[in-house]
Amino acid sequence: MSKRILQHPAVPADETTISWRSTGQLEDTQEFRNWMDREFPQGAAEMENQEALETSRRSFLKLMGSSTALAGFGMVACRRPEAYIVPYTNAPEWVIPGKATYYASSLPRAAGAVPLVVTTYEGRPTKVGPNRLHPDYEGTDAFAQASVLDLYSTSRSRDFLYGGKKSTLAEFQAAISAIANDKSAKIGFVFGNDDSPTRLRLAKEIGAKFSNAKFYQYEALTVNDTDVLGEGVKLVPNFDNADRILSLDCDFVGTDPQGSNIAFFNRRKPEGATYSKKPDASKMNRLYAVESAYSLTGGMADHRLRVAPSRIVAIAAQIAREVGAEISVDASITDANELKWIQELAKDLVKSGSKSAVLVGSRQSKALKHIALAINLKLQNIGHENGLMAYKSENVGYGDIASLTSDLNSAAIDTVVFLTPSNPVYDAPADLKFSEAIAKAKTSIHASDRSNATAYACTWHVPATHYLESWSDSRSVRGVYSVVQPMILPLYPNCVSELELLLAFAGDGKLIIGEGDKGSAAPAMAAVKKTFNRSEAEWKEALKNGYSSAVSSYEVPKVSLASNAADAIKQAAVSTPSKDKLDVIFATDASVYDGRWIDNGWLQEAPDPISKLTWDNAVLIAPKTAKELGIYDQIIALEPLSSMIGINGVLMDKYAKVSPDGEGQNRKSPLINVTVNGKTLKLPVLVSFGQAENTLIIPLGYGQGFNDEDELGRGDPKASKFVGLVGVNRGFDAYPLRTSATSYFATGATIAKTEERYSVALTQEHNAMYGRALAREVSTNDVEHKGDFAHQLAGVKKQGNDSHAPINISLYKQEDRNGKTFLSDPLHQWAMTIDLSSCMGCNACLVACQSENNIPIVGKEQVAKGREMHWIRMDRYFATHKDNDFDPDNVSLVPQPVGCMQCESAPCETVCPVNATVHTEDGLNAMAYNRCIGTRYCANNCPYKARRFNFFDYNKRNPLIKNNLNKGPAGERHDGEANHLQKNPNVTVRMRGVMEKCTYCVQRIKAAVIRQKRGQKQEVLESGKLSTENQVSTEALRIPVDSVKTACQDACPAEAITFGNKLDGVASKMMRAKDSERNYDLLNYIGTLPRTSYLARVKNPNDKMPDAKFIGQSTIHMV
Amino acid sequence: MANIFPRWSNLLPFQIAFCLGAVGTGVVLAFGYYATPKAQVVGYQPSQPIPFSHKIHVEQLGLDCRYCHSFVDVSGHSNVPSGNTCWNCHQHVQKESPKLEPLHRSMNVNYEKYDGKPIEWVRVHKAPDYVYFDHSAHVNRGISCQSCHGDVNKMEVIYQAEPHSMGWCLECHRAPEKHLRPLEEVFNFHYGDADVAKYAKPEDGVKTTLDLGEKLKEQFSVKPKTSCATCHH
Amino acid sequence: MASTSQTAPHNDSGIKLPVLKREKLILNDRSYHWITDRICGIIENRQPLLWWLLFLPSSLIALIGVGGGLFHLVSTGVGVWGNTNRIMWGWPIVNFVFWIGIGHAGTLISAILFLTRQNWRTSINRAAEAMTIFAVMCAGIFPAFHVGRVWFAWFLAPIPNANAIWQNFKSPLLWDVFAVSTYFTVSLIFWFLGMVPDLATIRDRCKPGIRKILYGIFALGWRGGNRQWSHYEMAYLLLAALSTPLVLSVHSVVSFDFATSVVPGWHTTIFPPYFVAGAIFGGFAMVLTIMIPARFIYGLQDLITMKHIDNMAKIILLTGTIVGYAYLMELFVAFYSGAIYEMDAFKFRIAGPYWWAYAAMMSLNVLSPQIFWFKSMRENLWVVMAVAMCVNVGMWFERFVIIVTTLARMWLPGDWKTFSPSPQDQMLFVGTIGMFLTLFLLFLRFLPCINIAEVKWAKLESDPHFEDNEAHPDEGTEVIPAYQHELTTGKN
Amino acid sequence: MSTTRKRVYGYLAEFKSASALYKAAEKVRDAGFRKWDCYTPYPVHGLDAAMGLKRSILPWFVFFGGITGTATAFTLAYVTQVILYPTVVQAKPTNIFTIPAFFPVMFELTILFSGFTVLFGLLGLMQLPRLNHPLFASKQFHRATDDGFFIAIEARDEKFSPQATRDLLADIGGENIELVEEEQD
């Protein structure tokens, strides 16, 4: 065989600096280069570079390695581009090239830190998952899952700003050392509502050092219960013990977290958390919800009462009376139905007594909170064995935004340091006129990873580190001490962490970033360790587990009704909205929270769980109200009736016609002017089912900046700087409508129609099931059949079309010419169940999948067309019992996550002409991207529409720039390569023209299988015998039961998804779930034999309730 | 009227047809050769910054593969040794050799041209980005380095010995016995029928490495898959 | 316009020709030479202004639409079209099936009518075959460039490769690749062989020069010797016999793309016959659309007579009725299935978001041809032309209904979304129409648009025993020249 | 005008109609000529009999061509799908029961191969393409593709005699009888 000796030009020493210019515009900066050197002090990890960065699964390494890019080209371009392997010079401990390293950390936030496990490859975090060891394990929600993307966000703040102009570390250093050394400085610190022991300690030190120091706490949508429960005290539901739960507009499973819901969801499963028991309705909890608009909690509720926000106090008061708590409020319930509802509810609560829990929305009025507390006290349900627990944090003694404003106005402080994740200049209540107050400050320092409105309003802006880059500590909901440790040195060298900044103030004002001088321990870490203040062993343990039980957690106080409670309740304003005095709720948004996630593409593209709206916010309104207000000339129905030949009334039926606002890319919602608190906001309107009449819901957090590409021409050069490419031109800013008095909801709003329309991108246009029993539900307490739960369960498989569909019989045996069957793997046969009974419909799985499988975002226009790429999508159906006469408009909500079903008899496979998608021995429906030519036939033939096609080079061309995708090769690339650092190296990054879909996270499966084989070898060698004398049984190669978790399953905060190996039998949770009577196949009628099956949702109604017989029946008695 | 075409034109069509045929076949053959990975990569032997000789280190010094490629049986990725691996020995051995200049550059702090920058080895073996080859999965199941990388122990300068095309992978995934070895022999480049005796008795009919391979295939229950997701995800 | 068609009939064979009692296919006793003259004249004379008026715009449209459209598509991605994750096949496949359908009449006329000894085919088969070729070319564009990575389209060809992986012969799409390419190749052979003698005719008429040489080359040195004719006739017969099942198979295979899927509304056993009937239907409509103007422009009234048009109208009536039956049968099958998904699929077709498409399909395809029950209507060229146009449009809508309407409302309501074509979609479709016209006009310009040899053979005196008839004197039937007939009936 | 001797091809005679040609052909056939042919602008039916030609053997070529097509398709499909690399799609068997799925391709290739055999078989039998032929040198022969009916008797025929043959042609009603000579080039 001939050997070609190819002489390559030696790489010049300065090559490195030269060709940095060749990669990405954005990271082509001195800082980034420096970072590279610092991140890998002795040179980079193994590097290589072949093809275009974009399409490579090793983008990151390529990026690193591109220091030597092009060296080989020209010489051997005709053969194959020259590639280099650049090993460490000194290999760091623990890092094995090509293997993931996992670290425990946590995401600090107001409702308590989220314990996490972070996956890193060669030092770059790519994925976060929940930390199951943690006592406060609560899964992860969409925000936690998406947080990793912010680390690499191209709109991250990188530079110090002084008066909005770029500045340097040195100048800032000078500025703060001046302040730090002025002991009499009138300085105020604004923290977030999260609880960080070290920060608390430093704050104390600073307080001791500066005589005039003040401390504040501010997050736009967080309200603490000081006035109701006492300082630092909060009530946390104890769902293990809560049999009956009443939510007074408290979206505890969604945007208003109250602690871990795992126990709550486990008790939604009649077979128990692990599906190991016989179905038993009595073990289930029962959730009553009183709310105005559909929340995920309302969706889970067994009994849901929809009332306008201004009436909730009245309802609560009535409940209190029925329960027997003595409170006085001049409000009475007139509606007989409601009264009955309330009375039965009260009876049920009283019956369960201490095993009950009444939760109240954290942003609700004090009056309501007092009433709720009164009820809880009456029920005596607060305590270790009871439905609720009270905890007291020492993290107290802070002023709020109002006091901050007045202190600024009164010059009580002239220097203020913002460390809050919120954006006060943007989101403070309008009546405070905060931006004017901040202007009065001599020095204002804003530390954030986004240079937002506040950044430009302050004198100084400090680029802050991401929580995955910084040392800190935090406390989870019940006060468990949790560490926050960095996975990576700050991506951009100027970034300062909160603690580092505080240390500077506490000390002599010297700001030390990242590692200490000459590689000594990072000061921030030292500070955290000092707070921790335990033995080295315990410290190591804490770092390993992500928490430490050695440090004391919250104490448990005694709670009682506040002295002023009675008065507060008396003053409670009770009113009833009408069509010209509407109620407005300023809602927390499921995608941007209070606006802090505006620049996160994954969250922006994740549809709102209720409205299915992406990339925007809109005012939600009940169909009837919309009609009354003349926004639509007919009532928008769930399954609209239309006539076949135009003449109304002739051949009326459900023909799935297009909605009056259009469909897909043509959908344009009418714009209306909402006037409240004397301010007016123009925004699009969406009809929302199950919402209280005469109530408007406006999600907050949008409309932070617009450039001249805005559809409504709201371009504003100044504000456009506040957001990045993702956040610009997004939605409508409702904060100006909001005053401190009406921070949650306001009354007396009016609306005015305009002729204008605004295009909205919905991922789901049709809300009903059209009689198809797709997402099924049953009732534990089927009134019509004498509460026969068994009867209901037996009927699950026979709902809808399946009631009369014949069983499918295959004509031929599934085997090859040697008689070998197809699903031949004797070790593993993968399958999944999704339990609709605990699935609430949040987007955690969807975002987790996106970060695990390198799924690109596609932007608003593409979503509107129907080209979103989510491998698992969240279908959300509204359904109602056909003769519901209690409240027919109170439709029930059933979510249904749909990914690839891995059908054993997959229609997609047979139609592919090039064998790009075929079945594997272990029952996966494999997709070979590099074989796919993109005929898209498979997707047509997929009944579940689980396949996604790369219509453009979404990974290469930036979909967010207007019209960019249509420019093809001329289009702009993603600005910078930082987003490629997040990519999972074990999943191919798909190019345009390729079909893709869920594969049960096959990369995780393969890794586990190989790990098992490796383990086998160890055993063999340790046995001391010759390897050939060892018998390796098939069983020995089977991976441990339920040891592989798919990304969606891992993320799920409701543990609704189980995944496992069918051959493990009932040892596997998944198989036990499949054995449940609730288990059914979606579209069983086609006979695709899906490996993913669903468990019907179980509603657990109270048969005394007036609406009981309509609960959990909507897919049985379909309209 | 006269003939528009001269007499010789009667043969023209056949001549043309013949030429086209010849050219066509030629093109096909050429494509067939150059389009296959064999032509592209087998024998690819770039010059390395340091003329490292596997022959000397493996054959003469008898170093085990894992001394340098330390993670080959742990990670999917077989690592190239870090600078300090080389330096361990070469700060003592052969330290004057001019060939080692790049090593001094990156490791020897006393060297005047020291810059601490890593050595940039030229990559020889490369699986396409959409292929997920896992070294540990093979090495730990009795597939030798030799099977894919050839007689590295005889290579003065490393080169690619096998096509590493999908077809080539499939050959072994369909008949692994040809390559299966006792786990002890995975890193032994001289493994041959002579070694078989150590592991099996001839009277059992196990004489050649192939026989042993057959035996091990059963014994280790090696069932390589040929479905897409085995290597592509 | 038809100035050249007014030349008076003359008979240079001198003798008075008695005629058999049947209507002549060639009127006014045109002589062999007249036929040659008239047909070759089209090629030899300067083209009428109308030709240029049609050619220039259509070629421009083809250039921009197809050339530009495909460039943008390939360089940018399938996203430039309207297709989405819901409607993965949109306009492109609609257009593909539309064109493939049109491409059926040609071979059908040449093959099936040949086998059934329908001599009247002789004067239209050439043009119809040409139409087939061009339609299939237009059709081929869509599936070819429809794939996401057209540069890997060679994966479809079963050639040994280093990846040792093969095609999936269970995929209807692969069948389609084979069917369409075979159909194109065989039609091309059929067309070319049919033309060889006529090319020779032209060759022999040309003045020496480049044209003579080119025609000479393509005429392969044809001499018209009977030793050639005898093989030639046999070959023609064989090709006809081969093409007949082929033409039926092609659209059946195309229909398999839908019929073998699990999609409600596609998964129907009646698709193959239904598609084939539809194809013949649309194909004949297109033949009429093109031939009626052509015979006026080039004065071919004596060769393409009212009899031809009448026959084609009857075929349209028949196939149109078959298609109508299929439409109704679909509805019945869906209803009879008792499956909500099937029933809804058709419910939504009739009255769903695309009810207008369904209405268009029904009225244009099923109702409009019914007018052909009346002879007077079949004889009124304006009516015939109008119906033909209706059918062309209607057949496009049929494919739109089948593909888009179905995909927009499939199994899971949560995933329903309507489809809107992008400008590039429309551009490419218009472009292919332009391409089709361009090619056809070029064909009229450079190739004999009527089969000269066969038309001559259709003359009564072509029969070697013709003169034996002199025994029994027969004055023949009075026949009004076709074009005068039109002057009376057609022009009002 | 060239002085070189030209090789004689044969006699070319025109006939006034298809019927005349037909009758003449029968006479030439009976006269026992072998190397001769009738030239007509369109296929005159029955002339084969009149000339004593046998039925074309093309169908046999095509038959075997078709068989080859079927076999090729079947082998291609069966070997790749069942033997070489059977892939699992929609749980469909990869054994003899897979064969029905191959029918469409088998059918198409049968037709395709037959089509090509027709093309090349025909060209072979007609000995075309042959761009140059002595007859093209004839002044009148161009009418053979228009409205002329000719008979040409080649000099290579052993029965050929410059005088007798000419007379024969004249007797059977041949007009403008012409001695066709091959051009030199």
CATH code at position A204: 3.40.50.740
Of the listed ranges A708-722, C43-57, C415-429, C474-488, the least confidently predicted one is C474-488
Query: Does B89 fall in a domain?
Result: no
Query: Does B186 fall in a domain?
Result: yes
pLDDT-based confidence at residue A41 (cuts at 50, 70, 90)? very low
Same domain? A279 vs A209: no
Taking CA atoms, C213 is separated from B10, C86, C220, C443, in Å, by 14, 55, 11, 18
CB spacing of C221 vs B36 below 8 angstroms: no
CA-CA-CA-CA dihedral for A872, A876, A881, A885, to nearest 10: 160
pLDDT at A943 over 70: yes
| Residue that the structure tokens 């799985």 belong to | A845
pLDDT of residue A71: 31
> How far is the C-alpha of D77 from the C-alpha of D112, rounded, in Å?
16
**Domain stop point among A392, A420, A453:** A392
Which conformational region is residue A876 in: left (phi greater than 0), alpha (psi within -120 to 50 degrees), or beta? beta
DSSP-based three-state secondary structure for B63: coil
From D89, D91, D95, residue closest to A817, measured CB to CB: D95
Which chain D positions have a beta carbon within 8 Å of A904's beta carbon? Answer: 91
Question: What is the interface pTM, i.e. ipTM, of the complex?
Answer: 0.89
The dihedrals phi and psi of A408, each to the nearest 5 degrees, come to: -65, -45
Query: Does D157 fall in a domain?
Result: yes
As for how many domains chain A has, the answer is 4
Q: A1075, A941, A1059, A1052: which is closest to A995 by C-alpha?
A: A941
pLDDT of residue A91: 72
Query: Does A541 fall in a domain?
Result: yes
CATH number of the domain encompassing residue A705 = 2.40.40.20
Same domain? A270 vs A369: yes
Residue with the larger pLDDT of the pair A521 and A625? A625
pLDDT at A114 over 90: yes
CATH number of the domain encompassing residue A300 = 3.40.228
As for how many domains chain D has, the answer is 2
- Per residue in A820-858, pLDDT (tens digit) is 888 889 999 999 999 999 999 999 999 999 999 999 999
Q: How far is C26 from chain D (nearest CA, A)?
A: 15
Q: Domain range for residue A1034?
A: 1002-1041
pLDDT of residue C489: 40
> How far is the C-alpha of B35 from the C-alpha of A506, rounded, in Å?
68
pLDDT of residue C228: 92
Of the listed ranges A573-582, A600-609, A747-756, B3-12, the least confidently predicted one is B3-12
Same domain? D119 vs D87: yes
pLDDT at C10 over 50: no
From the number of C-beta atoms within 10 Å of its C-beta (0-12, 13-18, 19+), residue A135 rates as middle
Query: Does A239 fall in a domain?
Result: yes
CB spacing of D112 vs C226 below 8 angstroms: no
Q: A339, A324, A318, A297: which is closest to A380 by C-alpha?
A: A324
CB spacing of C340 vs A772 below 8 angstroms: yes
- Per residue in A972-1005, pLDDT (tens digit) is 877 666 778 889 989 999 999 999 999 999 999 9
Q: Which chains touch D (3 or more CB pairs under 8 A)?
A: A, B, C
Q: How far is C29 from chain A (nearest CA, A)?
A: 56
Of the listed ranges A61-65, A1078-1082, C113-117, the least confidently predicted one is A61-65
pLDDT-based confidence at residue C31 (cuts at 50, 70, 90)? confident
Q: Which of residues 48-87 of D touch C (CB under 8 A)?
A: 48, 50-51, 53, 55-56, 58-59, 62, 76-77, 80-81, 84-85, 87
From A815, A816, A910, residue closest to D89, measured CB to CB: A910
Query: Which token pair is A547?
Result: 């928490």
Amino acid at C437: L
- Per residue in A592-646, pLDDT (tens digit) is 999 999 999 999 999 999 999 999 999 999 999 999 999 999 899 888 888 877 6
Which chain A positions have a beta carbon within 8 Å of C420's beta carbon? Answer: 664-666
Same domain? A316 vs A379: yes
Query: Does A663 fall in a domain?
Result: yes
DSSP-based three-state secondary structure for A1106: coil
Same domain? A178 vs A290: no
Same domain? A203 vs A267: no
Per DSSP, the residues of A408-457 read HHTTS-SEEEE--SS-HHHHS-GGG-HHHHHHH-SEEEEEESS--HHHHH
Residue of D nearest to C201 (CA): D145
Query: Does D2 fall in a domain?
Result: no
> How far is the C-alpha of C344 from the C-alpha of A610, rounded, in Å?
26
Query: Does B179 fall in a domain?
Result: yes
Q: Domain range for residue B192?
A: 40-49+124-230
Same domain? D66 vs D120: yes
Which chain D positions have a beta carbon within 8 Å of B227's beta carbon? Answer: 87-88
CB spacing of D141 vs B1 below 8 angstroms: yes
**Domain stop point among A343, A374, A392:** A392
DSSP-based three-state secondary structure for A721: helix
* Best residue of B3, B4, B8 to probe chain C, by most C CBs closer than 10 Å: B4
**Domain stop point among D126, D144, D170:** D126
Residue with the larger pLDDT of the pair C373 and A784? C373
CB spacing of B4 vs D129 below 8 angstroms: no
Query: Does D3 fall in a domain?
Result: no
Query: Does D164 fall in a domain?
Result: yes
From the number of C-beta atoms within 10 Å of its C-beta (0-12, 13-18, 19+), residue C484 rates as exposed
> How far is the C-alpha of A993 from the C-alpha of A997, rounded, in Å?
13
Same domain? D49 vs D137: yes
Query: Does B114 fall in a domain?
Result: no
DSSP annotation of A458 reads: S
Residue of D nearest to C233 (CA): D43
CB spacing of D90 vs A906 below 8 angstroms: yes
Average pLDDT over chain D reads: 88
Cβ–Cβ contact A911 with C under 8 A: yes
Cβ–Cβ contact C422 with A under 8 A: no
> How far is the C-alpha of C323 from the C-alpha of C334, rounded, in Å?
17
Residue of D nearest to A924 (CA): D88
Cβ–Cβ contact D16 with A under 8 A: no
Beta-carbon count within 10 A of C309 CB: 25
Residue with the larger pLDDT of the pair C456 and A322? A322
Same domain? D79 vs D101: yes
Residue with the larger pLDDT of the pair C480 and C64? C64
pLDDT-based confidence at residue C16 (cuts at 50, 70, 90)? very low
Same domain? A208 vs A253: no
CB spacing of B5 vs C213 below 8 angstroms: yes
Query: Does B45 fall in a domain?
Result: yes
Q: Which of residues 95-134 of D touch B (CB under 8 A)?
A: 129-133
User: Do the beta carbons of residue A926 and residue A999 sit within 8 Å?
Assistant: yes
CB spacing of C221 vs D131 below 8 angstroms: yes
From B2, B10, B13, residue closest to D183, measured CB to CB: B2
Same domain? D121 vs D65: yes
**H/E element, A116:** strand A114-121
Query: Does A736 fall in a domain?
Result: yes
Query: Does A215 fall in a domain?
Result: yes
DSSP-based three-state secondary structure for A115: strand
Which chain C positions have a beta carbon within 8 Å of A952's beta carbon? Answer: 76-77, 79
| Residue that the structure tokens 């403008």 belong to | D176
Cβ–Cβ contact B2 with D under 8 A: yes
Query: Does A339 fall in a domain?
Result: yes
> How far is the C-alpha of C147 from the C-alpha of C78, rounded, in Å?
8
pLDDT of residue C473: 38
CA-CA-CA-CA dihedral for A589, A593, A595, A599, to nearest 10: -100
| pLDDT average, residue stretch C236-249 | 92
> How far is the C-alpha of B228 from the C-alpha of C168, rounded, in Å?
14
Query: How far is C-alpha B42 from the geometric centre of its chain's CA atoms?
Result: 8
pLDDT at C4 over 70: no
Q: A149, A200, A352: which is closest to A267 by C-alpha?
A: A352
Q: Give buried/exposed letters for A390-418 (b at 16+ CB in 10 A, else e).
A: bbbbebeebbebbebbebbeeeebbbbbb
pLDDT at A1118 over 90: no
Query: Does A374 fall in a domain?
Result: yes
CB spacing of C162 vs B163 below 8 angstroms: yes
Query: Does A629 fall in a domain?
Result: yes
- Per residue in C285-333, pLDDT (tens digit) is 998 998 888 888 877 777 788 888 898 899 999 999 999 999 999 999 9
pLDDT of residue A61: 34
As for how many domains chain B has, the answer is 1
Same domain? A282 vs A348: yes
Contacts of C236 (CB under 8 A, 6+ apart): C114, C193, C194
Per DSSP, the residues of C406-470 read HHHT-S-GGG-------HHHHHHHHHHHHHHHHHHHHHHHHS-SS-HHHHHHHSGGGSTTGGGGG
Query: How far is C-alpha A32 from the geometric centre of its chain's CA atoms?
Result: 30
Q: Domain range for residue D172?
A: 8-54+129-181
pLDDT of residue A224: 87
Q: D131, D167, D149, D182: which is closest to D31 by C-alpha?
A: D167
Cβ–Cβ contact C427 with A under 8 A: no
